[in-house]
Amino acid sequence: MENKPKITIVKIGGNIIDNEQLLSDFLNDFSELKEAKILIHGGGKTATEIAEKLNLKPLFSNGRRITDKAMLDVTVMTYSGLLNKQIVAQLQALKTNAIGFSGADGNVILSEKRKNSEVDFGFVGDVISVNKELISMLLLQNITPVFSAITHDGNGQLLNTNADTIASEIAISLSNAFDVNLIYCFEKKGVLSNSEDEASVIEEINFEKYSILKEQKIIHSGMLPKLENCFKSLSNGVQNILIGNQNVLKNSTIHTKIKL
Amino acid sequence: MENKPKITIVKIGGNIIDNEQLLSDFLNDFSELKEAKILIHGGGKTATEIAEKLNLKPLFSNGRRITDKAMLDVTVMTYSGLLNKQIVAQLQALKTNAIGFSGADGNVILSEKRKNSEVDFGFVGDVISVNKELISMLLLQNITPVFSAITHDGNGQLLNTNADTIASEIAISLSNAFDVNLIYCFEKKGVLSNSEDEASVIEEINFEKYSILKEQKIIHSGMLPKLENCFKSLSNGVQNILIGNQNVLKNSTIHTKIKL
């Protein structure tokens, strides 16, 4: 299996989405990748801003955010509409033949509404399956799929889904056929040993080190599910995972490499 | 050229989009078509309602509506986001493997910003070309493309484009390879000889009859560009064109047939 084709799968977060210049620079780097590639994007502040303008009040239950019908609509409009199409149009201008996808398009990501006895999270979906045949077919045609963090339940219901998880599930689904390079871009240069110090990037984290860093509470809150996604991906065939900022596609950049 | 495969291309307007039950019934009929099929949808009232909630004032110049940046964003969110993804999710539930497209996705509809010496219409695009190779490839894979009325200029700019024209241009582009059946669904049962009387559907209109009806002002305003799109399509290889309401896919329904 040494001659599997390479693919780079990049997830970008709000800090890039929200900044026109960062997004433009990032898309430029992304479009220059020669191998097959996939982009997954979150939503950034736009959805929150539009929800505020529409006078929607964020709902919480037991301190957890709830996606009600009105908020789901705003999320679908913003993620799968405005942001996804702006990214696709910019990639087309860079001669990368992108097609934007929600999970409903081509039944590409099927999910189920999150069940939880204590909290009803509303229209939030957990991934059940990825249509890797369709994605592979598109990649063979030199098409670059661009995913927003919206999925569907197969019964006509759209669902809001974590973009990190979508990236991880897509990476896993393609790891049989491709040598997968999975990259998470966020606001820091990598996983930091001191959250106040951008110079404290940890170069490499394996599962043992992760357990220690977690125990010591050096890694906490949002970084925990992100790293657990990474280990799940590595355990399921993904070859290579990096966490870094918008410059992570530039070879010389500081970043954190995740290993088993 | 007698054994070209059949394709049905349907454009649905605001009256169907705005009514949940009509849309659901229509998508049911559409999903039962056995041949290759494409759906093009307009926007209905949703974009206007959202623009109002966001306190955007419609802009006019010399009596013509102008699409400024803020209104374009609302249009992209609504057409390519909310409506397109809701339609795609519903078609998936009906086992029709739909993929939603703006013109930017797969560079499928390239347009140019409308130039007019008297009025600047803003971010409105006129179709330059259709990527028929991509559409044909998807149709061969049994995929049903669903187009919103948003295109791009190839330089990163999204543009608002007339949905009737998109339907017509797609139909023309596929007419070499397919026996094309183009259907325009709107709020009436067909072209009426008396706009007050739903029973006055004109069964068939050819170019000669059109010229007379236009002269007599029986056909006027919005129906003129719609019919001109039809004649352009027929002159460029489209086989069959019908205008009717949401029941037009049911064989027995009253409608208007357009001929050269």
The winner for highest mean pLDDT among A47-61, A74-88, B52-66 is: A74-88
Nearest CB among A53, A73, A90 relative to B82 is that of A73
Q: What is the ipTM of this complex?
A: 0.95
Print pLDDT tens along chain B (260 aa).
568 999 999 999 988 999 999 999 999 999 999 999 999 998 878 888 999 999 998 777 776 778 999 999 999 999 999 999 999 999 999 999 999 999 999 999 999 999 876 778 899 999 999 999 999 999 999 999 999 999 999 999 999 999 999 999 999 999 999 999 999 999 899 999 998 999 999 999 999 999 999 999 999 888 999 999 999 999 999 999 999 999 999 877 899 999 99
Phi first, then psi: give them for residue A91, nearest 5 degrees: -65, -40
Average model confidence (pLDDT) across chain A: 93
Q: Which of A39, A91, A92 to substitute to test the interface with B, most B CBs within 10 Å? A: A92
Residue A1 inside a domain? The answer is no
The pLDDT of A222-233, averaged and rounded, is: 92
Given a cut of 70, whether residue A60 has pLDDT beyond it is yes
**CA nearest to B99 within chain A:** A105
Residue A62 inside a domain? The answer is yes
Tell me the count of A-B CB pairs closer than 8 A. 118
Angstrom distance (rounded) from CA B10 to CA A120:
39
Residue B214 inside a domain? The answer is yes
Residue B1 inside a domain? The answer is no
Cα distances (angstroms) measured from residue B161 to each of B62, B122, B174, B190, B225: 20, 11, 19, 23, 14
pLDDT at residue number A59: 79
CB contact under 8 A, B106 and A99: yes
Residue A65 Cα, gap to closest chain B Cα (Å)? 21
Q: Which of A85, A108, A153 to substitute to test the interface with B, most B CBs within 10 Å? A: A85
- A51 contacts on B by Cβ (under 8 Å): none
Angstrom distance (rounded) from CA B124 to CA A154:
35
Residue A11 inside a domain? The answer is yes
CATH number of the domain to which A90 belongs: 3.40.1160.10
Residue A56 inside a domain? The answer is yes
Q: What range defines the domain where residue A197 resides?
A: 6-258
Q: Which of A204, A209, A181, A182 is nearest to A191 (CA)?
A: A204
Given a cut of 60, whether residue A20 has pLDDT beyond it is yes
Nearest CB among A82, A97, A154 relative to B81 is that of A82
Determine contact: B139 vs chain A, CB below 8 A. no
The pLDDT of A75-94, averaged and rounded, is: 97
pLDDT in tens, A170-220: 999 999 999 999 999 998 999 999 989 999 999 999 999 999 999 999 998
Q: Quote the number of domains for chain A.
A: 1
The pLDDT of A117-142, averaged and rounded, is: 93
pLDDT at residue number A1: 52
C-alpha torsion sign, points A105, B54, A23, A194: negative
pLDDT at residue number B215: 95
Q: Which of B24, B77, B110 to substitute to test the interface with A, most A CBs within 10 Å? A: B77
**CA nearest to A82 within chain B:** B77
pLDDT at residue number A221: 86
Query: In this structure, are strands B144-148 and B125-130 parallel, antiparallel, or unpaired?
Result: unpaired
Residue B141 inside a domain? The answer is yes
Q: What secondary structure, in 3-state letters, does chain A show?
A: CCCCCEEEEEEECHHHHCCHHHHHHHHHHHHCCCCEEEEEECCCCHHHHHHHHCCCCCEEECCEEEECHHHHHHHHHHHHHHHHHHHHHHHHHCCCCEEEECCCHHHCEEEEECCCCCCCCECEEEEEEECHHHHHHHHHCCCEEEEECEEECCCCCEEECCHHHHHHHHHHHHCCCCEEEEEEECCCCCCECCCCCCCCECCEECHHHHHHHHHCCCCCCCHHHHHHHHHHHHHCCCCEEEEECCCCCCCCCCCEEECC
pLDDT at residue number B118: 76
Phi first, then psi: give them for residue B36, nearest 5 degrees: -60, 150
- A98 contacts on B by Cβ (under 8 Å): 104-106
Given a cut of 90, whether residue A71 has pLDDT beyond it is yes
Residue B131 inside a domain? The answer is yes
Q: Residues 55-94, chain B: which have Cβ within 8 Å of A? A: 55, 73, 76-82, 84-86, 88-90, 92-93
DSSP state of B178: S
User: Annotated binding residues of A, as ranges?
Assistant: 43-44, 65, 160
Under the banding of pLDDT at 50, 70 and 90, the label for residue A118 is confident
Residue A113 Cα, gap to closest chain B Cα (Å)? 14
Looking at the DSSP bridge assignments, the partners of residue B6 are: B179
Residue A42 Cα, gap to closest chain B Cα (Å)? 14
